[in-house]
Amino acid sequence: MNNPMEERNVLAAIILNDNNEVLIQKKDLGHPWTPGAWCFFGGKLEENKDPKELLKEILKKKLGVEIEVGEFFKVHPTIIEYPKGTMKCNDLVYICRFRGKISDIKLNEGAGFAFLDKSEIDSYPITKHGKEILKEYFLGYRTRM
């Protein structure tokens, strides 16, 4: 008997610094869906919560610093295969800004983080849907933040 596909809405942040490098995180090897992969910071969208406010709270908790949550970029649907089954995610992607010093970041989740220039995207094992979103962003989208 097949398990039904789990579906969830997820908040994802394209966090840019003043050099327009994007901040990504490395998931630890115990992560249930994307162990060891590089991806966006974010979290599950909760019902009856304002997405921008919730994302701001999530980022503060995960990074220990204030992140400016700006404009909505896109919804990116994706299917994730993992050992326990298949999950359909609708990534609600927001453009965000980090204006602090890298030494201010206090990572509270995952195995690491990095700022990447657009030329480095293909050299990291970023999730497939993460690469798709970043390439679309860097191809032509320009933030007003």
Tell me, yes or no, whether 145 lies in a domain: no
**CATH (domain of 24):** 3.90.79.10
- Name the pTM for this structure: 0.90
Which tokens sit at 12?
């994802």
Tell me, yes or no, whether 27 lies in a domain: yes
Tell me, yes or no, whether 16 lies in a domain: yes
Tell me, yes or no, whether 1 lies in a domain: no
Task: Tell me which residue range forms the domain holding 28.
Answer: 6-140
DSSP-assigned letters across all residues of 86-125: EEEEEEEEEEEE--S-GGG----SSSEEEEE-GGGGGGS-
**Residues 70-116 pLDDT 10s:** 999 999 999 887 767 788 999 999 999 999 999 999 999 899 999 99
Count the domains in the chain: 1
Tell me, yes or no, whether 85 lies in a domain: yes
Tell me, yes or no, whether 100 lies in a domain: yes
**Residues 2-53 pLDDT 10s:** 556 788 999 999 999 999 999 999 998 887 777 888 999 999 999 999 999 9
Which tokens sit at 3?
């398990």
